[in-house]
């Protein structure tokens, strides 16, 4: 029987939303599952003091090293990172980081096939890059290279007066070029930033929106669509991120209202893009991914643009997708473990023959 270990930095699985769902699904699928943290790994004995869900509570027990690890969070400390690295070298991990926004952009650009979907993006090395982009586009945004949930994004627009209109965190104000230069200089001193043209993906009602394409690997190692849903920003916002006050709704009704006669064509376009892009994106890295959250926008000509790729997406609670996500994860983890066993068996047979 396959043994899956869920690795997380939090000691209490009750504080980790997905832990219970994975435990329930694993049991239903005939797979052993336990939860653990890096500090509970005994490298010398090759055992882990983990927690298993039994009779309505999480019970601590000793387990051998699992066949596969679902690494559900970052390590948290240097010591934890050393242990995670040790396990990574010996046991298949389901999840792998895609890297920062610029790294993702550059990989897709080099991969050619989906290059035309990219929004022109540059890392800000000097503030003149922002002004040069403002000469080419009416509005630009700057955002942190490693930011999340729409944090730190600033919208910049050149006003008729020669000053600049700024929108940040729902607040609008005007700056002179000198004041904007100071703001930009301070920002890029604090952290790395990107600049790109502002693509206005807006509903008929004027609110910004985008689509989250949530895909996972199945029990055969193939990509499958878990869910696709729109994300709508609050009035006046420049991003549609749910963590920044946005909301979501069901896909079909949204498409019917926004695209009317072409709504089904757009739905099929999103589905085809989700699967074809995920398959291509997998080839751009040495490690294979188990799950991706692909964010795309649709402009006024109904053309798709790639906004961002996330490697640990979370479906909104509104859709009750937790069990779907858990089922796909368990199926893929089982596939990964069995594939690794077969690979090791073939390797040992070759060594014996050699």
Say if residue 214 is in the same domain as residue 299.
yes
- Whether residues 22 and 78 fall in one domain: yes
pLDDT recorded at residue 347: 57
Asked if residue 179 is part of any domain, the answer here is yes
CATH of the domain at 207: 3.30.470.20
Number of domains present in the structure of the chain: 3
Q: Are residues 142 and 285 in the same domain?
A: no
Report the pLDDT value the prediction gives residue 239, as an integer from 0 to 100: 85
Residue 354 pLDDT? 53
- Side-chain half-sphere of 282: how many Cα atoms within 13 Å? 19
Q: Does residue 84 sit in the same domain as residue 146?
A: no
Measure the CA–CA gap between 354 and 339, rounded to whole angstroms: 23
User: Helices 263-282 and 251-259, interaxial angle, to 10°?
Assistant: 120
Does a structural domain hold residue 316?
no
Report helix angle 17-28 to 322-353, nearest 10: 60
331 assigned to some structural domain: no
Sheet holding 164-168, edge to edge: 122-123, 193-197, 139-144, 154-158, 164-168, 171-175
For residue 311, which of 217, 171, 184 has the smallest C-alpha distance?
Answer: 217
The size of the chain, in residues, is 354
| Residue after which a domain boundary falls, among 162, 197, 232 | 197
* Residue 187 shares a structural domain with residue 89: no
Read off the CATH number of the domain in which 61 is found: 3.40.50.20
Whether residue 167 is contained in a domain is answered as yes
Q: Let me know if residue 138 belongs to a domain.
A: yes
Cβ atoms of 238 and 198 within 8 Å: the answer is yes
Specify the residue for token string 């001193």.
189
The verdict on 211 and 288 lying in the same domain is yes
**Domain check: are 29 and 129 in the same one?**
no
Same domain flag for 232 and 298 = yes
Positions of the chain with pLDDT under 50: none
Q: Is residue 255 part of a domain?
A: yes
The residue among 86, 185, 200, 97 whose CA lies nearest residue 140 is 200
What is the per-residue pLDDT for 349? 53
Of 197, 227, 253, the residue at which a domain comes to its end is: 197
Q: Are residues 110 and 233 in the same domain?
A: yes
339: in domain: no
Instruction: State the pLDDT at residue 237.
Output: 82
> Residue 193 sits in which domain range?
122-197
For the record, the structure tokens of 300 come out as 């006024």
Q: Does residue 343 form part of some domain?
A: no
Same domain as 229, residue 150: no
Give the whole-angstrom CA distance, residue 166 versus residue 172. Answer: 6
Pair 59, 136 in one domain: no
Residues 228-270 have pLDDT tens digits of 999 998 887 888 877 777 889 999 999 999 999 999 999 999 9
Are residues 134 and 257 located together in one domain of the fold? Answer: no
What pLDDT digit, counting tens, does each position of 293-331 carry? 999 999 999 999 999 999 988 777 667 788 899 999 999
At 237, phi and psi to the nearest 5? -80, 160
> Which residues make Cβ contacts (< 8 Å) with residue 255, sequence separation at least 6?
263, 264, 266, 267
């Amino acid at each position: 029987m396959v043994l899956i270990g869920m690795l997380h930095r939090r000691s209490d699985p009750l504080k980790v939303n997905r832990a219970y769902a994975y435990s329930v699904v694993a049991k239903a699928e005939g797979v052993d599952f336990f939860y653990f943290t890096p500090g509970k790994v005994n490298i010398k004995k090759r055992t882990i003091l983990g927690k298993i869900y039994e009779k309505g509570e999480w019970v601590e027990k000793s387990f051998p090293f699992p066949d596969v690890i679902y690494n559900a969070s970052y390590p948290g400390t240097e010591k934890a990172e050393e242990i995670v690295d040790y396990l990574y070298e010996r046991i298949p991990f389901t999840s792998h980081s895609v890297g920062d926004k610029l790294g993702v952009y550059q990989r897709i650009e080099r991969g050619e096939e989906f290059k035309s979907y990219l929004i022109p993006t540059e890392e800000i090395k000097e503030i003149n890059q922002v002004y040069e982009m403002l000469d080419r586009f009416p509005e630009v945004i700057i955002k942190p290279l490693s930011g999340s949930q729409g944090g730190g994004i600033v919208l910049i627009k050149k006003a008729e007066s020669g000053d600049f209109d700024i929108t940040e965190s729902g607040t609008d104000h005007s700056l002179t070029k000198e004041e904007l230069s100071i703001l930009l200089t301070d920002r890029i001193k604090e952290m790395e930033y990107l600049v790109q043209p502002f693509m206005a993906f807006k509903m008929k009602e004027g609110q910004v929106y985008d689509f989250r394409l949530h895909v996972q690997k199945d029990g055969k190692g193939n990509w499958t669509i878990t869910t696709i849903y729109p994300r709508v920003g609050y009035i006046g916002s420049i991003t549609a991120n749910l963590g920044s006050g946005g909301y979501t709704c069901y896909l079909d009704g949204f498409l019917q209202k926004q695209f009317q006669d072409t709504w089904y064509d757009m739905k099929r376009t999103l589905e085809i893009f989700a699967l074809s892009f995920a398959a291509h994106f997998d080839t751009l890295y040495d490690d294979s991914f188990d799950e991706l959250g692909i964010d795309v926008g649709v402009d006024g000509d109904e053309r798709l643009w790639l906004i961002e790729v996330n490697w640990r997406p979370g479906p909104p609670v509104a859709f009750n997708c937790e069990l779907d996500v858990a089922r796909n994860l368990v199926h893929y983890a089982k596939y990964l473990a069995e594939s690794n066993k077969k690979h090791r068996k073939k390797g040992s047979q070759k060594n014996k023959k050699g």
